[in-house]
Amino acid sequence: MTSSNRWSDLERPPLNETALRHALLTPSGLWTSLDVVAATGSTNTDLVARAKAGAAEGAVLIAEEQSAGRGRLERRWTAPARSGLFFSILLRPGLPTPDGNAALPVDRWGWLPLLAGVATATAVSRTAGIDTALKWPNDLLVKVPKDSDKLRPGETPPGEERKAAGILAERADDTGIVIGVGLNVTLREDELPVPTATSLALAGAPGVDRDPLLRAVLRSIAQWYQEWRAADGDPHRSRLQEAYAAGCATLGRTVRAELPGGRELVGEAVAVDSDGRLVISAEGREESVGAGDVVHVRPAADGGSAG
């Protein structure tokens, strides 16, 4: 049972809601409201409900603890209170912006979870002081040092790529989309949900204060989103496609995509196309697969790790 005392774990202090609002809710900024709740089932579920009730673009909902967090393909996960950043944001690309950007058609919204991935990776690298990479479509990877007993003097541990964050986007209504981010910050080894997961602390990040991390991530998302909107949702003109490809650990590796109907596609991940789909080269031809079509992307038996 989680303690009702927010200060029950001094290594995991609560977020400062007042300071976050002061820093992020500015007259000309994207974020319009920010709420921190002690616990909820899923911030995405809650914010989708608020969106359907008419919430404005830029709403941010943060939970200190989630009991029914969801990932892609309805995978469920939980984490100890205040051990990470668990939040959702509401964007309304289907409405024109106050500064004159046109409403965007739904077929361009598919880049938004990838945009959130780029923004989160950039902010975490800068603020936590740790290298990050993206596993397509939108998992955040960091390297966890391996046992260094067998290393030669002066040799750097190669590290093992593990997932530190996931992103889930859900259509809220005709004009809006909710994007949820779950970032493991101070999870300990015995608290990890699966062996392939990790946290910033376990990866040796020097910066694990959640308040500056959250501010940095939200500011990064706002900057990328506003540039993407100003470019009419064009991933090339907004530099989003280039930035995603530069930070994607999946590209250049052999992967196996398990597709609906039991079909498998094994080949080299060679690009991310203009719709945000992963392009796989196999048996002399290229095929694009969308996030909604892929059950799992993982290394082939003879290929490199994709996280």
Kindly list the structural domains of the chain, giving each domain's residue range(s) and its CATH number in brackets, ordered by start: 17-246 (3.30.930.10), 251-299 (2.30.30.100)
Paired tokens of 242: 């280039």
Name the residue with tokens 């796989």: 280
The per-residue pLDDT of the chain, averaged, comes to 88
Q: In what order do the strands lie in the sheet with 133-135?
A: 33-37, 59-63, 84-91, 177-184, 160-171, 139-144, 133-135
- CA 255/CA 296 separation, integer angstroms: 10
Phi/psi of residue 21, each to 5°? Answer: -65, -45
- Are 70 and 168 in contact by the 8 Å Cβ rule? The answer is yes
Task: Find the DSSP H helices in 231-305.
Answer: 240-247
Residue 178, pLDDT > 70, answer yes
Contact present, 178 and 84 (Cβ < 8 Å): no
For residue 65, give the nearest of 163, 182, 144 by alpha carbon.
182
- Burial classification of residue 244, based on how many CB atoms lie within 10 Å of its CB (0-12 exposed, 13-18 middle, 19 or more buried): buried
Q: Find out whether 200 and 184 touch, Cβ atoms under 8 Å.
A: yes
**Tens of pLDDT, residues 194-229:** 888 999 999 999 999 999 999 999 999 999 999 999
Q: What is the pLDDT of residues 40-52, one digit of tens each?
A: 999 999 999 999 9
Strand 254-258 and strand 296-299: the pairing is antiparallel
**Residue-level pLDDT at 160:** 84
Pairing of strands 278-282, 264-272: antiparallel
Which tens digit of pLDDT belongs to each residue from 96-106?
999 999 999 99
